[in-house]
Amino acid sequence: MNLKKYGRGAQRIMTKSTKPKKTEDSGGEDEAPSTQQIVDLGSAQTRTAHGTIHCLTIIGQIEGHMLASQSTKTTKYEHVMPLLASLEENDEISGVLLLLNTVGGDIEAGLGIAELIAGMSKPTVSLVLGGSHSIGIPLAVAAKTSFAVPSAAMTIHPVRMSGTVIAAPQTYNYFDRLQERIVEFVVKNSHISREKFLQLMLKTGEMAADVGSVVYGQEAVELGLIDRIGGLSDALADLYGQIDRRKKRK
């Protein structure tokens, strides 16, 4: 199968069968399913003293309704969406760790995934590694706690569209309403003000031949876009804390 794009998150599924091979040492049984899960969906589950953690990667281009080229790493929304729904319903899963390194992609696919993450009742933590650009920003802020490594980058820019554009007032209204959906989601799920986010989105003079801004780890925290600076151990510690507090409430 092939994974899709727009900030294709999960890893591209191989065109060849990825069914685990049977080994002599295992007596003909399949290899560890966790390894297969990483190959097919870019995700893995780990049992800890706090509970079972599901780690999901959102990488490359987030693919929407149109397939990306075979040479592009993507995250397909038709894989991630049902996976998130199953994680929410699975009593064995205690929390979800999201690892982000995406260039962005399809707006509605990315926003749809972000809405699912934000709507989960289970503990969730996101960690921006490398970058979480464009529609990757809603994905980063959708978790209950968001982290970014110091070297992480996030590009904020207005909505773009490829293909035929009709020169009519309705086209501008469509772009404006689509952009408004993104702004509202980011403001609702982070601590950045609407005015500041729009200012960054429409800033000129910072990006060559484009409008927008690029913010980095510590700056994103100071702006209120990301909650904290930290690495993997920091993100896991926060996730464990959420899990423990949730258990006490129950």
- Which residues are identified as catalytic? 134, 157
- How crowded is residue 16: how many other Cβ atoms within 10 Å of its Cβ? 6
Which token pair is 20? 């685990």
Which token pair is 155? 């590009």
| Alpha carbons 39 and 94: distance in angstroms, whole number | 22
Task: Name residue, tokens 């960690």.
Answer: 127
| Alpha carbons 78 and 82: distance in angstroms, whole number | 7
Q: Which residues pair with 46 in a beta bridge?
A: 53
| Alpha carbons 72 and 12: distance in angstroms, whole number | 8
Report CA dihedral (206, 212, 214, 219) to the nearest 10 degrees.
100
Burial tier of 108 (Cβ tally within 10 Å: 0-12, 13-18, 19+): middle
Of the candidates 63, 45, 50, the one whose C-alpha atom is nearest the C-alpha of residue 4 is 63
